[in-house]
A = this chain, B = another copy of it.
Amino acid sequence: MKIENPNPLQWNFSKRSQQLQSSAIREILKITMRPEITSFAGGLPSPATFPVERMKAAFDTVLTNQGKIALQYGPTDGYGPLREWVADSLSTDGAKILPEQVLMVSGSQQGLDLLGKVLIDEGSKVLVETPSYLGALQAFSIYGPDFISVPSDEQGLIPSAVEEMGKGARLLYSLPNFQNPTGRTLPLDRRLALVEACARIGLPLIEDDPYGALSYRNDPLPKMLNMNPSGVIYMGSFSKVLTPGIRLGYVVAPVPLIRKMEQAKQAADLHTAQLTQMVVYEAVKDGFLQTHIPTIRKLYADQCQAMLDALQTYFPAGTSWTKPEGGMFIWVTLPAHIDSGALLKEAVEQHVAFVPGAPFYANEPQHNTLRLSFVTVPPEKIRAGIERLGKLIAAKL
């Protein structure tokens, strides 16, 4: 029942798909999953932080009490009680967030894709930090934007440039807390200045905040969302505070944008798994995260400190790095003549890995940068890995 000698298909892919390439990071991760390698390359949270028993109990409760509902199709905008929970958790006295401003998505990466889909035309101006989150650059790229890299320094994006550069742009994408890839945090005065600049020129400001809860101090900075709920699009995720393998995040935005994104989501995947949303609601509704998140902070803060100490001890003069106050990443700048892509090949031979910095730049990559994650490696391995890396760098000076 098979036809004879069919012609092989000549694939005629869409123009937009020429933009697609496999993420440099995910390709590296494949290599670095070999057990002998100490990998600082991952962007994965530590499995030690996953509340397996809590999740197991929540699945059991939901399937026992509401199994037929949880396993049925659900609404595109998300599970009502969870949207309410998100809205409440983001509301402040001055800025109340309503459930209808919340769209549940299949991980915040999907939020980025939907934003690109409904806001970006070919050639649209899109402002990004320097450097910026690679996953956002990838998600937006497929829609053909003209990326504008906003000047940034060790405190993050410099708001004074935005009003001039952002005229006529479709959005500004920012990650203000413990940024991926740099680990830097946008200070309060810059947040206010940025929110004001965007409001003056009517530029939608994306506040991507997957790491915000992972502050090593107990006083995270105010969210830009609450400074101007009618101009800021906030993106949150359960990946870093609960578990990533369930793929659950949310977008909070003014209602006209949420409705448009809801329509785009309906065409993209109908809705996010109803069961997952009900289980996460069951797991978090009683304040579980308030006791759970401090245990993640403690683990990551200790490992961050171990890496900062090791860098101080083993990295040669001429190198510099960020000192994150939360999150998962440290960003290293090497002397200008060292290409971190070439360095990675040698490092892998020495059984240590990191992510080269170049792919994080929308324009003009700086090849002497690299990203280190400290969250999945215990302190003694951090020290040994950083020592080996430091020696490789020192040999090039």
Chain A: residues with CB nearer than 8 A to chain B?
Answer: 1-3, 6-17, 20-23, 26, 44-45, 47, 50, 52, 55-56, 59-60, 63-64, 67-74, 76, 92, 94-95, 106-107, 109-110, 113, 117-121, 124, 135, 138-139, 141-143, 170, 192, 195-196, 199-200, 202, 204, 222, 226-228, 230-231, 239, 243-247, 254, 256-257, 260, 262-264, 266-276
Contact check, B260 vs A273: say whether CB atoms are below 8 A apart: no
Contact check, B68 vs A50: say whether CB atoms are below 8 A apart: yes
Q: Which residue of the partner chain B has the closest CB to A264?
A: B20
Which 8 residue pairs spanning A and B have beta carbons closest together? A52-B67, A71-B243, A6-B199, A20-B263, A47-B68, A245-B274, A17-B118, A71-B245
- How many Å lie between the Cα of A95 and that of B124 in the bound state? 46
Contact check, B202 vs A10: say whether CB atoms are below 8 A apart: yes
- How many Å lie between the Cα of A135 and that of B269 in the bound state? 10
Given A63-B52, A227-B2: A247 touches B268 (CB 8 Å cut-off)? no
Q: Which residue of the partner chain B has the closest CB to A222?
A: B1
Report which of B117, B257, B269 forms a contact with A11, defined as CB distance below 8 A: B257
Q: Supply 23 A–B pairs (Cβ within 8 Å), ascending by A.
A: A1-B94, A1-B222, A1-B227, A2-B226, A2-B227, A9-B230, A11-B204, A11-B260, A13-B118, A14-B117, A14-B143, A17-B264, A23-B266, A44-B73, A45-B72, A50-B67, A55-B71, A106-B269, A109-B269, A113-B269, A135-B267, A245-B275, A273-B276
- How many Å lie between the Cα of A59 and that of B256 in the bound state? 38
Q: Which residue of the partner chain B has the closest CB to A12?
A: B170
Report which of B74, B227, B228, B260 forms a contact with A17, defined as CB distance below 8 A: B260
- How many Å lie between the Cα of A202 and that of B8 in the bound state? 7
Q: Which residue of the partner chain B has the closest CB to A42?
A: B73
- How many Å lie between the Cα of A76 and that of B2 in the bound state? 31
Contact check, B59 vs A63: say whether CB atoms are below 8 A apart: yes
Contact check, A17 vs B268: say whether CB atoms are below 8 A apart: no
Q: Which residues of B contact A274 (CB under 8 A)?
A: 245
Q: Which residue of the partner chain B has the closest CB to A263?
A: B20
Q: Which residues of B contact A50 (CB under 8 A)?
A: 67-68, 71-72
